[in-house]
Amino acid sequence: MKYSGWPESGELAVGKIDEIEDFGVFVDLEEYEDKRGLCHISEVASGWIKNVRDHVNEGQTVVVKVLEIDEDAQQINLSIKDVNDHQRKEKIQEWKNEQKADNWMELAFGEDLADEQYAAVANELLADFGSLYDGFEAAAIHGTEALDETDLSEDEIDAVVETARENVSVPYVDVTGYVDLTCPGSDGVELIKQALQAAEGDADALPDGADADADVPEEVELEVTYVGAPEYRIKVRAPDYKRAESELEASADRARAVVVEHGGTGEFHRERNEDEE
C-alpha cells in the first residue's frame, strides 16, 4: 500500500536510492505515491565525505528522516545519517509488516478487489489501529470484537478475521463466549456457583461421571464473570485460535454439566443477548 499525500517533517520513511550525484542522492519513497526526495551529501553520513558512492549504492533500500517539505516546489529534503540502527531496524520491520498486510488484503477480498473497496477497508483499519498490520493482528487476537468500532460491513469483518487468523503469527489470542445457566429449586443459587467453579476448571465441582474435561492447560488463561442473570461471560486467552476455541467450549460444557445434572439448563452462545451496560 502506498499513501497519497505527503510525509510529515520528522517522519521516518523507507526509500530506495534512485540516483547518485556528487552533491547527494535522490531517494524514491516506497510508502508514498510518486514522492521523491533529496538527501544532500552532508546528510548521507557523518564526517567528511569524499565520494558518496563509498556510502550508498543505487537500488539500495534505506531509512531516511524527513527534514523539510516544500509542496509548492515539490521538494523533500531527507537525511540518512540522522537515523540510528535501532530506528532503522524498527522501521524496516514496520514496512515489511505493511507489505504483508497489503498481501492479506488481496487474500481477504480477492485479486479483483476494487481500489475503492481497498481504500475504504484500509482507511478504517488505519483510523482505528494506525496501520494495516496492526488491524489484522488485532483481528487475529481478538476476533470480530476488535473491529466492532469500525464501519466495516459484517462480511468485510469476517473476511479480515478469517484471513488474519490464517496468516498472522501472534503471541496469544482472546476469545469470548457466553453461557446462560438456570437451575430450579431452593439450592439453585449454590448450584450456579458450583457450575461457575466447574467452568473455571475446578474438577471437584463437576458431578460424578460427567463427560467434561476439567483440565485447563497452564498456558491458557480462563475467566468467568457475571453479566446479568442468567448470562455469564467466559473469556479465554490461549497461544492460538484453535486452542482458545476448544477451551472456551470445554468451559461452557463443564458449567452445563453441573446444572443439567440437577434439572437445570445451560446454553452456550457467542454473542451477548443484550447490550452490556
CATH at 185:
3.30.70.1130
Structural domain boundaries, residue 60: 12-83
201 inside domain: yes
User: In percent, how much of the chain has pLDDT > 90?
Assistant: 74
Q: Do 106 and 71 share a structural domain?
A: no
Same domain, 184 and 241: yes
Show the DSSP H helices in 72-178 as ranges: 85-109, 115-129, 132-142, 154-167
Could you tell me what percent of the chain has a pLDDT over 70?
96
* 234-265 residue pLDDT tens: 999 998 888 899 999 999 999 999 999 889 99
> 32 falls in which pLDDT band (50, 70, 90)?
very high
Binned at pLDDT 50, 70 and 90, residue 71 comes out as very high
Residues 101, 10: Cα–Cα separation, whole Å: 25
2 in a structural domain: no
Residue type, 98: E
From start to end of the chain, where are the E strands? 12-21, 24-29, 36-40, 61-70, 75-79, 173-182, 221-228, 231-238, 265-269
Average pLDDT for residues 39-67, to the nearest whole number? 95
Higher pLDDT, 142 or 39: 39
Q: Can you read off the three cell numbers belonging to residue 163?
A: 484471513
Q: pLDDT tier at 274 (50, 70, 90 boundaries)? A: low
Q: Is the dihedral of CA 64, 69, 71, 74 positive or negative?
A: negative
Per-residue pLDDT, 134? 95
Do 178 and 263 belong to one domain?
yes
Which helix (H) or strand (E) segment is 247 a member of?
A: helix 241-261
C-alpha Rg value of the chain to the nearest Å: 27
Mean pLDDT along residues 122-127: 94
Confidence of residue 276 (pLDDT cuts 50, 70, 90): very low
- Please tell me the total count of domains within the chain: 3
pLDDT at 275 over 70: no
| 226 strand-pairing partners | 232
| Contacts of residue 177, Cβ cutoff 8 Å, sequence gap at least 6 | 233, 234, 248, 249, 252, 268, 269, 270
Question: Within its chain, how far is the Cα of 30 from the centroid?
Answer: 23
Letter for the amino acid at 243? R
DSSP assigned state of 131:
S
73-101 mean pLDDT: 95
Sequence letter at residue 2: K
Confidence of residue 212 (pLDDT cuts 50, 70, 90): low
35 pLDDT tier (thresholds 50, 70, 90): very high
